[in-house]
Chain A
Amino acid sequence: QITLKESGPTLVRPTQTLTLTCTISGFSLTTSGLGVGWIRQPPGKALEWLGIIYWNDDKRYTPSLRNRLSITMDTSKNHVVLTMTDMDPVDTGTYFCAQRLPFWSSFLELGFEPWGQGILVTVSS
């Protein structure tokens, strides 16, 4: 059974850096065709795709946040780490990690399933 679970701080001060960890089980991060994406959702609002890391360490980021985001993986710990710098109250929301549907190429996305339960991050002084 494939599971993902997000962990990290639930309160971050403005201008600080957010670091979230996605712990995966049931698959290997280095299996060809797989990858883990990050998606966030402000309270009461829509989903927003943030970025993805692939089995071959290739990465993609949403253009509007590219200069603030970094996604890395630690295969020994089965972790995928999201780092977002210069946090602002508008970044408040639930952050999800999700497995991409397997596909041989890292150049397109079919969808995401399963998802982690999400972690609510509040940015406030």
Chain B
Amino acid sequence: QSALSQPRSVSGSPGQSVTVSCTGTSSDVGRYDYVSWYQQHPGKAPKLMLFEVTKRPSGVPERFSGSKSGNTASLTISGLRTEDEADYYCCSFAGSNNFVVFGGGTKVTVL
């Protein structure tokens, strides 16, 4: 069982917005602003989409945004496109004991 909890799946129609939640504890998501998000298409390596909760690496569309409230971080995809259909994983720094933890992953489906 993964340390961070994510919904198994979310879906939306092209052009709509979807939000993926990532719930941790006061020892990881709640304590540090070091949450990152990864997109993974089938058979491919993960790709970093957001880091430090809200920052986008170069080349990631502005449609991808992040936020955090308490022990829950969120990834929002606005203006959903067919190529956004993939698995999304959250990740958080978790201090000196657990160090890095991942979520269980969420499958985003574009209807």
Contact = CB atoms under 8 A, between A and B. Distances in A.
Nearest to A103: B34
Contacts, number: 70
Contact of A49 (B34, B51, B97, B102): B102
A118 B45 contact: yes
Contacts of A26: none
Interface of B: 2, 32, 34, 36, 38, 45-48, 51-52, 57, 89, 91, 93, 96-105
Query: When A and B form their complex, which 7 residue pairs have the shortest distance between CB atoms, in order from nearest?
Result: A111-B36, A113-B48, A111-B51, A115-B45, A49-B100, A47-B102, A46-B104
Given A62-B98, A107-B96, A116-B45, A47 B36 contact: no
A2 interface: no
Q: How large is the interface on A (under 10, 10 to 19, 20 to 34, 35 or more residues)?
A: 20 to 34
Interface of A: 37, 39, 46-49, 52, 60, 62-63, 96, 98, 101, 107-118
B47 A46 contact: no
A63 B98 contact: yes
